[in-house]
């Protein structure tokens, strides 16, 4: 269903409030990006799109 482009971050690729990580997609079609392992809430990530990864402005809370 989806094509996968696995990205392995190096120890120097950490993110914080002053430094973000960037990734440019090389998937020609059907590229997706998701962080929680749930494919149903993906973002499209086709060739040429750039994702910037950094800390969120707000903090979430897990309620069980």
Q: Give residue 13's pLDDT band: very low, low, confident or very high (50, 70, 90).
A: low
33-41: which pairs have CB atoms within 8 A and are 24 or more residues apart?
39/2
Contacts with 59 (C-beta within 8 Å, 6 or more apart), sequence order: none
pTM here is 0.57
Q: Which domain holds residue 38?
A: 11-53
Q: Give per-residue pLDDT as tens, 24-47.
A: 888 888 888 876 666 777 888 888
Q: Is 41 contained in some domain? A: yes
- The SS3 assignment for 61 reads coil
The total domain count for the chain is: 1
Q: Is 63 contained in some domain? A: no
The helix (run of H) or strand (run of E) holding residue 33 is strand 32-33
Pairwise CA distance, residues 33 & 47, whole Å:
12
Q: Give residue 53's pLDDT band: very low, low, confident or very high (50, 70, 90).
A: confident
Q: Is 35 contained in some domain? A: yes
Query: What are the structure tokens assigned to 31, written together?
Result: 């590229």
Average model confidence (pLDDT) across the chain: 76
């Amino acid at each position: 269903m989806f094509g996968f482009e696995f990205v392995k971050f190096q120890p120097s690729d950490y993110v914080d409030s002053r430094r973000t990580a960037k990734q440019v997609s090389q998937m020609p079609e059907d590229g997706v990006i998701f962080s929680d392992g749930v494919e149903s809430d993906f973002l499209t990530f086709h060739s040429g799109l750039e994702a910037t990864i950094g800390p969120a402005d707000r903090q979430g809370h897990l309620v069980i």
